[in-house]
Amino acid sequence: MKMSLKSAITLLAVAAPSFAFASAWEIDSSHSSAQFAVKHMMVSNVRGTFSNVKGNVNLDDKDITKSTIEATLDAKTINTNEPKRDEHLRSADFFDVEKFPTITFKSTKVAKAGKDKLNVTGDLTMHGVTKPVVLAVEGPTAETKDAWGNVRRGAVATTKIKRSDFGLTWNKALEAGGVAVGDEVTITLDLETTKKAEASAPAATDKK
């Protein structure tokens, strides 16, 4: 049985995959940041940040579990408000930023975790080591327009890792017991994204 061109087009439209409902977003580096906290001397937390957060989000509001995210942090931008400590953290004892200048995350799975909450599983690559982690995400927020007409959405993601899993093992033993730097690190990502302009369909050409 032959199918007309009109019927074929209609069938393809109905069978189109859900990514047709997805929208592309870019992480706004100037309004996004990555923070971390790690125990110091077994008594208090040292907090720091990475700036220059970049990446892209493919957001599917029809089926949020089909969304994806990729993000990159500039390891050289680490800042704990103590210059000498920051230089040590950039050295081969810790992040070795000359050899491993970036920290990346690439999602592999998105699952709902309650109202406006998601669990985003993905591969975290740091210090040349890749390990799976799960980000607990609040958001994304509803769309809003800024004064220049850009459409924006935001989200907050948190996770905990062991730095030793990524080869960051430098430490010093304390006389009273314990170590100078804790192994568990809490990471928080504050992300603001801007919607990318939709690509226009190519113009049809007449064939004679």
Residuewise pLDDT in 10s, the chain (208 residues): 455 555 544 444 444 444 446 899 999 999 999 999 998 766 788 999 999 999 999 999 999 999 999 999 999 999 999 999 999 999 999 999 999 999 999 999 999 999 999 999 999 999 999 999 999 999 999 999 999 999 999 999 999 999 999 998 987 776 565 667 889 999 999 999 999 987 543 444 444 4
Residue 175: which CATH number? 2.40.128.110
CB-count burial class (<10 Å; 0-12, 13-18, 19+) for 126: buried
Is 6 within a domain?
no
pLDDT at 2: 52
Is 15 within a domain?
no
Is 27 within a domain?
yes
pLDDT at 8: 46
pLDDT at 172: 79
Name the DSSP class of 202: P
Query: Of 22, 94, 101, 104, nearest to 63 (Cα)?
Result: 22
Domain that holds residue 158: 20-195
pLDDT at 12: 45
Give the phi and the psi of residue 100 in degrees, each rounded to 5.
Answer: -130, 80
Is 201 within a domain?
no
Is 134 within a domain?
yes
Is 166 within a domain?
yes
Q: In total, how many domains does the chain have?
A: 1
Name the DSSP class of 161: E
Torsion 13-17-21-25 (CA) sign: negative
Give the phi and the psi of residue 31 in degrees, each rounded to 5.
Answer: -125, 20
Per the DSSP assignment, residues forming a β-bridge with 121 are: 109, 134
AA letter at 34: A
Structure tokens at 160: 């905990």
Is 204 within a domain?
no
Structure tokens at 42: 């077994």
